[in-house]
Amino acid sequence: MLRFSGCKQFKLISFRGTFRWNVTTDKVLLTELRFIEPYFNKVGSKEAWQHWTEVAEHLNSRDGLRENPQDQRSVRKRFNKLLNEFKAKTRSEEAASGIAVDPLTEN
């Protein structure tokens, strides 16, 4: 472990190859986000940073994700990408139909 100022401890992350997000890992990520809810904190705040780090640690403790651990930045970037894709898809469906879009399902 490395020790930085403020008596906080950080673990070194060792990477073993390239990590690829897929549907399964996205679902695991969204499940963790649902319980920890780091997006309710002010962007850039200490609480937000702590919550995103907690999400990353929970993901790294999962069996399928231990080989290529993720840090809080990559987790936050993936969530923002998924959110932006969802918003764009919803906007395009509303614009194409001209009427209210059916509620989304898990698929």
> Which pLDDT belongs to residue 81?
93
> Which pLDDT belongs to residue 88?
92
> Which pLDDT belongs to residue 102?
67
> Which pLDDT belongs to residue 82?
92
> Which pLDDT belongs to residue 1?
41
Phi, psi (degrees; rounded to nearest 5) at 67: -65, -35
> Which pLDDT belongs to residue 85?
92
Half-sphere exposure of 28 (CA within 13 A, CB side): 19
- pLDDT means per 10 residues, the chain with 107 residues, are 45 60 86 87 86 88 74 88 91 76 66
